[in-house]
Chains A and B, each alone.
Chain A
Amino acid sequence: GAGVSQSPSNKVTEKGKDVELRCDPISGHTALYWYRQSLGQGLEFLIYFQGNSAPDKSGLPSDRFSAERTGGSVSTLTIQRTQQEDSAVYLCASSPAGRTEAFFGQGTRLTVV
């Protein structure tokens, strides 16, 4: 596709269950970001991948959160033992190397009940 694709668009899960959120970046983009946006809040940085470098995990809120990026392309954000405070929109963005803007997907709305 032409843009960043995220799936699912909506996810409702029970407290304590694990969830996986997927991001397909724009082909050829070397940088990939995950952000979290809670209702009415700004963007909270979670994790950043750049090429083959070690990811910047400094924004992950707890060890229940993890992410991987396979083959420098698709990324999966995993949340284990979900809690109600994990409910938010999870946004993925990708960017080509250099000084250009990042392109965002439409997000995955996660609701933990």
Chain B
Amino acid sequence: AQSVAQPEDQVNVAEGNPLTVKCTYSVSGNPYLFWYVQYPNRGLQFLLKYITGDNLVKGSYGFEAEFNKSQTSFHLKKPSALVSDSALYFCAVRDLTGGGNKLTFGTGTQLKVEL
């Protein structure tokens, strides 16, 4: 079975500071990893994905994520946070080689960026 853990319910950061939102995963095969963002009263928007290749993945709005196979992690990062980045962030995993195409989400991390 595949699973995703987001250990922090909420992350607070000052505008202009770097931010990190943590995600770890568990799969039996090779993971395909995703980050989504949800703004208030909106649907989920895709941010970035890791499929294969370079461990550092760049996505929308200046976000990036680093795949670390040995630590089974896929943390979301941004060098300089903006107030407008405040939203709910979800990490997700797919395990195509483990059998099935199911997309499993973490419980979400609320990011709050303050002036």
How many Å lie between the Cα of A103 and that of B44 in the bound state?
8
Choice from B90, B101, B107 contacting A31 with Cβ under 8 Å: B101
Contact pick for B42, options A33, A45, A106, CB 8 Å: A106
**Interface majority SS on A: helix, strand, loop or mixed?**
strand
Interface residue B43 (Cβ < 8 Å from any Cβ of A): yes
Digit string of B77-115 for contact with A (CB within 8 Å is 1, else 0)? 000000000000010101010001111111110000000
Taking a contact as CB atoms under 8 Å apart, the answer to whether A50 and B101 are in contact is yes
Judged by a CB distance under 8 angstroms, whether B34 is at the interface is yes
Instruction: Assess whether A42 is interfacial by the CB under 8 Å rule.
Output: yes
B49 at the interface (CB under 8 A from A): yes
Rounded to whole angstroms, the CA-CA distance of A35 and B44 in the bound complex is: 11
Please name the residue on chain B nearest to A6 by beta carbon: B43
Interface contact A101-B49, CB-CB below 8 Å: yes
B108 and A103 contacting across the interface, CB-CB below 8 Å: no
Question: Closest residue to B90 on the A side, CB-wise?
Answer: A43
Q: CA A101 – CA B47 in complex, angstroms?
A: 10
The reply to whether A97 and B104 form a contact with Cβ atoms under 8 Å apart is: no
For the complex formed, measure the closest distance between the CB of A75 and the CB atoms of chain B, giving whole angstroms: 15
Q: Which residue of B lies closest to A43 (CB)?
A: B105
- Minimum C-beta distance from A56 to chain B (A): 6
Q: Given A42-B108, A43-B90, are A97 and B44 neighbors across the interface (CB < 8 Å)?
A: no
Q: Give A84 to B84 CA distance when docked, in angstroms.
A: 34
Contact B43 A107 (CB under 8 A): yes
Which residues of B line the A interface, CB within 8 A? 32, 34, 36, 42-46, 49, 51, 90, 92, 94, 96, 100-108
Closest 5 CB pairs of A and B: A42-B107, A104-B44, A42-B108, A43-B105, A106-B43
